[in-house]
Amino acid sequence: MNKKNVLLVVLVLICGFVIGRACSRPASQPSTIIHQPSSSVRFWTCSMHPQIHQPEPGQCPLCGMDLVPVSADSGENLDARELTLSHSARKLAGVELAPVERRFVSRDIRMVGKVEYDETRLSYLSAWVPGRIDRLFVDYTGVPVRKGDHMVQLYSPALVSAQEELIQAVRAVREQSADAAGFMKNSLEGNMLSAREKLSLLGLTDTQISEIEKSSSPSDEVTIYAPINGIVVHKNAVEGMYVDTGTRIYTVADISQLWIKLDAYESDLSWLRYGQNVSFETESYPGEPFTGVVSFIDPMLDSKTRTAKVRVIVPNSDGRLKPGMFVRAVVKSSLAKDGRVMNPDLAGKWISPMHPEVVKDGPGQCDVCGMDLVRAEELGFVTSDNMDAPIVIPATAPLITGKRAVVYVTTEKEGVFEGREIVLGPRAGDCFIVKSGLSEGELVVSHGNFKIDSAIQIMAGPSMMNPGRADHPGANPSKDAYVASVPEAFLSQLTAVVDAYINIGAALSSDDAKKAEIAAGSLLDALTHVDMSILKTDPHKLWMPLQTKIRNAAEVISDVTDIQSQREGFRSLSSAVTEAVQTFGTGKRSIYRAWCPMAFNNTGAHWLQNHEEVLNPYFGSSMLHCGEIQGQVDH
């Protein structure tokens, strides 16, 4: 090969190497390194872990993401809790705004309970005289009877004697002479009326008394009839049995109207009022709604379940509802700013304070009991104009950590967002009622608020979610934060609850919904063995609401089958268990608090675990190690 050919081969090899290097770099992927003059960079940080500050570019030691620069002039002329975002930055961060409104919002209050007899429609068939039961026409329970049906045939010497008195009195009136003195006629007729009244008081009907008057001799037996329409629910006697005055023979229940007794949680009582409409379904008729009216709300709260009984009156003319049925009920309630329930349908109406089904257009008396009707407003309803509407914001707007809630609002400066702490009222569907901190017409960030909060941290500003170490979600609470003098027995029982909670987190991090369900059942069982009676005064008061929160969240995980719903329940459970651990201690064990900023559409969520390796229960295997250990709770 001559020199010219050798040179050509070398040139081809060099060109191929250069072209190969160029082609090996994808044209569609820009470099992830942000070039910026070093003089304008204060430090390099991680967008997911803003606590990381590095003097040089590189990767985050926690998640491996490329660090981003923080400019020296970032945040110039802004308050510490403000952030400026350009239009493109807002679009990139997915920032959405929503107005602060004053309007009525509704909420569905869900309750469970059972169908029961209407106690006002129970009737007892009792013996009015002593005697012997010769025959029971209704010889088993469950038999439907109508008012006036024969029920019992009774022999009673007292009734025989009373019949004889009437027969003799009637005979004396008939046989008196026409010229008898007036006082004599009055006396005989008085004796006859007295004999009739005596038999009536002994339980005989007018028809029976008339038949006795027509006969010449008393009957050895008398028949007792049904006092009302209904169902025989108890049979208390048998044939041949001797009974005394007042002995109960049957219990008859009129089931054309029934009661439903529901359990309402303490947190839902502000939404419930006497006279509200209730819709419910039964297992027997799935998908078919029934309706009733709230007739009574128990003034006492069950100290164990933290629920109050709510009684609902339900018509049952077709007899399809049966006592003992399990029901799931819903009350749709609108709450005004002062805590009263809004119901425009009751505007100007008058209601019976004892029978809520009696509603009239004007004052008057109850058709059932005769009590004076009262205005709907006196029963806690709002029926006026929108002046009473509360201030509401979307449920996605506030960032909630423990007892604090913060929002980001727009300011007069273009593209500037300001963090503000607010006081929230109850949640109503997809909205929160705001008690203080916002004014009608302001604009709050409804989506992208967590990214704004993270950006402020990246700029080395104070996060509204983490204003200081005392409120830092990962900070170790001091021992002063725990309740002193908690008995060791209670702490041991609480430890079993925490262990079951940690097992739920482990199951979710392994994407095992079945194990999470089983662990939630174990938690509920452990919760029933926590003896709250050994706690006194303040510790007892602190434990009661925490117990309810833990139970409610664990029941969600135990009742659902899809893992995403379980993870949503685990977030609420984590909040309640964390508060319990920070209040009462960990039983001298190490418990670590972990935080994932990307959970639940970047709103973030924390959890507790008993090891330092991050195992994320909110993402499982898809992002198992996403997050960080923020602190250790030791006590």
**Please, are residues 487 and 442 in contact by the beta-carbon 8 Å criterion?**
no
pLDDT at 21: 43
Q: Mind listing the pLDDT tens digit for each residue in 150-195?
A: 899 888 888 888 888 888 888 887 777 666 666 777 787 788 888 8
Does the pLDDT value for residue 65 go beyond 50?
yes
pLDDT at 204: 82
Q: What is the DSSP string of 424-437?
A: EEEEETTEEEEEES
pLDDT at residue 215, rounded to an integer: 81
Q: Which residues fall within 8 angstroms of residue 190, CB to CB, at 6 or more apart? A: none
Give the start-to-end residue ranges of the domains of the chain: 3-71, 82-103+390-466, 110-117+255-386, 119-253, 479-634
More confident residue, 540 or 385: 540
Please give the distance of CA 515 from its chain centroid, rounded to a whole number. 25
* Per-residue pLDDT tens digits for 251-267: 999 999 999 999 999 88
pLDDT of residue 412: 81
Amino acid at residue number 629: I
At residue 457, the pLDDT reads: 64
12 is written with which tokens?
């081809």
Average pLDDT, the chain: 79
CATH class (in words) of the domain with range 119-253: mainly beta
Residue scoring higher pLDDT (242 or 389):
242
Of the ranges 184-193, 356-365, 552-561, the best mean pLDDT one: 552-561
User: CA 136 to CA 253: how far, in whole Å?
Assistant: 18
Does residue 356 contact residue 330 with C-beta atoms inside 8 Å? no
Instruction: Answer with the residue of higher pLDDT: 141 or 178.
Output: 141
461/474 Cα distance (integer angstroms): 18
| Average pLDDT score over residue span 479-495 | 68
**Residues of 432-458 as b/e, b for ≥16 C-beta within 10 angstroms?**
bbbeebbeeebebbbbbbbbbbbbbbb
pLDDT score of 516 more than 90: yes
The H or E element containing residue 590 is strand 590-596
Kindly report the CATH number that applies to the domain delimited by 110-117+255-386: 2.40.30.170
Question: How many angstroms separate the CA atoms of 271 and 426, rounded?
Answer: 10
Q: Which two tokens stand for residue 430?
A: 């997809």
Lowest-confidence region among 111-115, 214-218, 307-311 = 214-218
Q: What is the mean pLDDT of residues 245-253?
A: 90
Query: Are 110 and 328 in contact, with CB atoms under 8 Å apart?
Result: yes
CA 408 – CA 418 distance, rounded (Å) = 5
Checking if the pLDDT of 23 tops 50, the result is: no
pLDDT at 246: 86
Q: Express as a percent the part of the chain with pLDDT over 90.
A: 21
Q: List, for residues 438-452, the tens digit of each pLDDT value.
A: 999 999 999 887 777
What CATH number matches the domain at 82-103+390-466, 2.40.420.20, 3.90.1150.10, 3.40.50.300, 3.30.1330.60?
Answer: 2.40.420.20
Max Cα distance, the chain (Å)? 172
* Number of neighbours of residue 412 by Cβ within 10 angstroms: 6
Q: Do domains 110-117+255-386 and 119-253 have the same CATH topology?
A: no
**Per-residue pLDDT at 386 exceeds 80:** no
Q: What is the mean pLDDT of residues 453-473?
A: 54
pLDDT of residue 250: 92
**Between residues 212 and 46, which one has the greater pLDDT?**
212
CATH 3.30.1370 corresponds to the domain 479-634: no
What local confidence, expressed as pLDDT, does residue 112 receive?
Answer: 93
Number of H helices, E strands in the chain: 11, 33
Confidence of residue 120 (pLDDT cuts 50, 70, 90): confident
pLDDT of residue 84: 78
pLDDT at 49: 65
Instruction: Please tell me the least confidently modeled range out of 137-151, 250-264, 475-489.
Output: 475-489
Which is higher by pLDDT, 31 or 148? 148
What gap in Å lies between CA 222 and CA 107, rounded to an integer?
Answer: 59
Confidence of residue 480 (pLDDT cuts 50, 70, 90): very low
Phi-psi region of 587 (alpha: psi -120 to 50; beta: other; left: phi over 0): left
